[in-house]
Structure 1
Amino acid sequence: MVKKRQILVIGNNTNGCTPEHEKIAYDIGVEIAKSDSVLITGGLGGIMTAASRGAKDTDGLTVGIIPQDDASEANEYCDIVIPTGMGFTRDFLNALSADGVIIVGGGSGTLSEVCASYMSKKPMVAIRNLNGSVEQYIDGYLDHRENVKIVGVDNAQEAVTKIIELISA
């Protein structure tokens, strides 16, 4: 049996998540399911719920790695819930569980996951023009180490196609 690709989708939680963010995240979830990859999220609201719903609507497999210690805190579209009880530290588990990362907007929590992914040299793509915390780093690097470039894309289909290409490289 071959291991399935695991793609982490990160971005705005319920606070700050716009209808545009939700639509893009939903479409990313659909495309991840169509690619026969596993969707990983932080398992909560906003981008995480929208991406998970898109994957579920397309018969995909979803995993939510939540900061709480109670699995019932996860959104209803998570097939597998990993309650960590670790708070923000769970961002590192999210990054390390992924083969690649797709970024949709986001604030400081998203930036924390991006930093964890960057230090672990995980391939990353980010949707352009969403005014998220990583906007200034798109098509560049977080720092002088140049661990991994954050590749800019314009839509959900391009995001999933590009992350699969980067994971396979």
Structure 2
Amino acid sequence: MAKKRQILVIGHNTNGCTPEHEKVAYDVGVEIAKSDSVLITGGLGGVMTAAAHGAKDAGGLTVGIIPQADASEANEYCDIVIPTGMGLTRDFLNALTADGVIIVGGGSGTLSETCAAYMNKKPMVAIRNQNGPIEKYIDGFIDHRKNVKIIGVDDAKEAVKTILELITA
């Protein structure tokens, strides 16, 4: 049996997450489940909860890698919880666990995870017009190293289709 693809969804936590972010993240979760991939998130609120909720509603498997040491801190849609006790350092674990990353808005934590994925040359897709710090890097690179281009897409279906193409390329 082949290993399942693992797609990390990152973005706004509860603070700063809008209904639009939640809708997009939910739809991304649904599409990930429909692709028979595993959804990985940081396991907390906002985009993470919405994506996991979408994946669960579509019959998918969800994993939450949380910064706390107590598994009960994860959102209710996580099938598997990995309580790291690592605080924000867990951003690197999230990035390394992923075969590819989908970005929905976000703040400094999302930027940290994006940089960790970038340094490890993980394929990345960002949904346009979500008002996160990644916007200025869409369809470009974070720095002079040009490790991996952050591909811009317009919706959830295109995000999952594109990340799967990048993973298997």
**Same fold at TM > 0.5:** yes
**Could you tell me the TM-score, scaled by structure 2's length?**
1.00
- Map 1:115-154 → 2, pairs under 5 A: 115-154=115-154
Q: Deviations over 1:39-98 (max 9, x none)?
A: 000000000000000000011000000000000000000000000000000000000000
Q: 1: distance between equivalents of 2:156 and 2:12?
A: 16
Equivalent residue, structure 1, for 2:51: 51
Q: 2: distance between equivalents of 1:118 and 1:104?
A: 16
Gaps of 5+ in 2: none
2:64 equivalent to 1:64: yes
Give the C-alpha shift of residue 109 in structure 1.
0.1
Q: 2: distance between equivalents of 1:31 and 1:129?
A: 20
State the AA in 2 paired with 1:32: I
Equivalent residue, structure 2, for 1:33: 33
Q: 2: distance between equivalents of 1:127 and 1:16?
A: 16
Give the C-alpha shift of residue 143 in structure 1.
0.1
Q: 1: distance between equivalents of 2:37 and 2:166?
A: 14
Q: 1: distance between equivalents of 2:83 and 2:133?
A: 26
Gaps of 5+ in 1: none
State the AA in 1 paired with 2:117: S
Give the C-alpha shift of residue 133 in structure 1.
1.0
Equivalent residue, structure 2, for 1:24: 24
**Could you tell me the TM-score, scaled by structure 1's length?**
1.00
Q: 2: distance between equivalents of 1:19 and 1:159?
A: 19
Q: 1: distance between equivalents of 2:5 and 2:130?
A: 26
Equivalent residue, structure 2, for 1:103: 103
Give the C-alpha shift of residue 130 in structure 1.
1.1
Q: 2: distance between equivalents of 1:135 and 1:141?
A: 11
Give the C-alpha shift of residue 164 in structure 1.
0.1
State the AA in 2 paired with 1:96: L
In the TM superposition, structure 1's runs of 4+ consecutive aligned residues that sit over 6 Å from their partners are none
State the AA in 2 paired with 1:31: E
Q: What count of residue pairs does the alignment treat as equivalent? A: 169
2:87 equivalent to 1:73: no
Which SS does the other structure have where 2:25 is aligned? helix
Give the C-alpha shift of residue 131 in structure 1.
1.0
State the AA in 2 paired with 1:35: S
Identity of aligned pairs, percent? 83
Q: 2: distance between equivalents of 1:139 and 1:58?
A: 30
